[in-house]
Amino acid sequence: MAGRMGARLMAVVAAGKRTRLYLDPTEEIEELAQEAVPEWRPAGGVPKRLTGGTCYAYGLTTWGDLFTDRQLVALTTFSDLVSEARERVFADALAAGMDPDTPQLADGGTGAEAYADAVATYLGLAVGRASDFWNGNATWESGGGFVAHAFTRQAIPMIWDYAESNPFSSASGNWANTALEWIGRVTENLATTKTQAAVIQQNAAGDTPLLDRAVVATDPPYYDNIGYADLSDFFYVWHRRTLRGVWPGLYRRVLVPKDEELVATPYRHGGKDAAERFFMEGMGQALRNMHSAGIGNFPVTIYYAFKQAEVAREGLTSPGWATFLQAVFEAGYVIDGTWPVRTERSARTISIGSNALASSIVLVCRKRPDNAQAITRREFVARLRAELPDALKKIREGGVGPVDMAQASIGPGMGIFTSASSVLDPDDTPMSVRAAIALINQVRDEISGEEATGYDRETRFCIDWFEQFGMDERASGDAISMAQAYDIGIDTLQKAGVVSTQAGRARLLRRDELPSDWTPEADKRLTDWECAQHLARVIESPDGGMNAAALLYSAMGAERGEAARNLAYRLYDICERKDRAAEAQVWNTLAQEWTALDAALIRVEEESRRLSEGQGDLGQGLPGWDG
């Protein structure tokens, strides 16, 4: 903050023959880098507070501070060249016979001026893309050996070891590919479509009616998650410098307007409570406008972005999620479903392969009938217990993995809650959405416990042991006492191949201790626990895979297979509660792969049919098949 922080050149990455060379910097190289003297730097303040982190506290307090002098020279040079390019395009348009006297693009023109404005606009956007790479917050992606842009997440954190791209290289962050080519791809695809569309900028929470008889799909602000208006200034300062002459009305402000952004930001509204009121009132009005404009028999789809940390900290009754659902309910919608959707590519910070929530929830909503009646808390819970079991079964069959089950199960539960005009607590006050979510989760846990009673006794013992002790050893007496509750002996568990006892100690057998040649048909004491564990073992194994698992799955039969599937969800829930991330990932993977397992089973059964007709060899060519 005192201005005493500097920068040192630590390495130079050079292109070699089909490789990269990492060179020690010389004094000459560093001196050359520091010779650049920019004529202009962006003004305006970096946000002091920002969800996800800000570099303000480290002395980078203005937008210009986020760029080195050399980067500023590059960006201002390219920005200035956009105006020169526009004049050349205008001259070419006149030479091609386009009308010279029509208005500019901002005023609705379609002639030479407008054409030049359009090309300049795309070039200006390319300068904005370049600024995302040519700044002091761009990182070096050591795994792939390239420069990563600043906004790998929606924040401006402090970056101590930043990387500078060479605009004229063929590496990441260059002008030709990173900036221009990507925009070119978009324009090429836009140019090939014959469909016309109108784009209208309008305040969704304002007094102007939305389009009548609209089909609504919306991705609204997410309570207090992301301050897009604050982040937009990073790009706005470059767009404004480059395109102010082309779009004078759009870029009349020095920075982006922020006060009306529909997010619950305490520092803008004088505190947390006032920020929540602002969000609820604005979101409620926007949803009521959508409700009035929407076609009655069409569903409305609303996206909500979950934050992993938010749920980990506060569960599915987090203020943002509950507040948003409350606004949806009060606007007059019935929530038909809450479906998890992967909306980010796998290279994001938390990858799809990890034990992470789906990046978005899609709420499927319909208008609540005007004659909807109020119900009591008791009626609400009774309907949850009656309807949720079948709903959960359908969600599993739809391929939703355990990590997303809690969010997905809120859908049918909220469907019951929102179909009533209100749910009344015993004191006749309306139940809040937050209280309803807690009840939905409670009933879901009860259903999971009731499903466990359908397992064989050995499996129920294993579930209880796993919940209390995981795969750890305990005194054999603990195992004997727990087994007695299921009217079985410790020797029965040993013969079933699920427990190991030695020297007065007992534990569950690990998957790597299970026999690799196990088959359900040969097991004289077949258990649901073994079926689930062996399926997980085979899918995990480098020598196994999906088709090998399908052979086991086929041999288990439908009843055992379904039990194994339900057990995967049950074990995942236990791992989540007990913070066993690695084991949770195993069960999440197994459950999520069930659709692929079903598909592999069809292939195996088809091969079996061909075998019976003398057309092939069962399992021939399938991974994991040994003949």
CA angle 570, 571, 575 (to 5 degrees): 120
Across the 627 residues of the chain, what is the mean pLDDT of every consecutive 10-residue run?
A: 89 87 91 91 90 88 94 97 97 95 92 96 96 94 87 88 92 91 87 75 87 88 80 95 95 90 85 88 91 88 66 52 84 86 52 47 89 95 93 82 78 93 94 90 84 86 93 92 89 93 93 91 93 91 81 87 90 88 88 82 78 61 44
Please state, as a whole number, how many other Cβ atoms lie within 10 Å of the Cβ of residue 341.
12
26 DSSP 8-state letter: -
Helix (H, G, I), strand (E, B), or coil: what is residue 397?
A: helix
213 φ, ψ to 5°?
50, 50
Helix (H, G, I), strand (E, B), or coil: what is residue 446?
A: helix
4, two tokens: 């005493």
The DSSP H or E segment spanning 323 is helix 319-330
Q: From CA 378, how far away is CA 445, in angstroms rounded?
A: 18
Tell me the DSSP string of 146-206.
Answer: EEEPS-SSSSB---SSB----TTSSSTT-IIIIIIIHHHHHHHHHHH-----------TTS
543 φ, ψ to 5°?
-90, 0
Closest CA to 263 of 220, 231, 315: 220
For residue 441, the model assigns a pLDDT of: 86
401, two tokens: 């993995």
What are the residue boundaries of the structural domains of the chain, listed by start?
34-193, 281-452, 512-627
Residue 251 C-beta-side C-alpha neighbours within 13 Å: 18
613 φ, ψ to 5°?
-95, 10
545, two tokens: 């895979």
| Residue that is written with structure tokens 């191949």 in the block | 497
Sign of the four-CA dihedral 265, 271, 273, 275:
negative
Closest CA to 370 of 296, 443, 440: 296
Q: From CA 494, how far away is CA 489, in angstroms rounded?
A: 9
Q: How many residues does the chain have?
A: 627
For residue 421, the model assigns a pLDDT of: 95
For residue 386, the model assigns a pLDDT of: 94
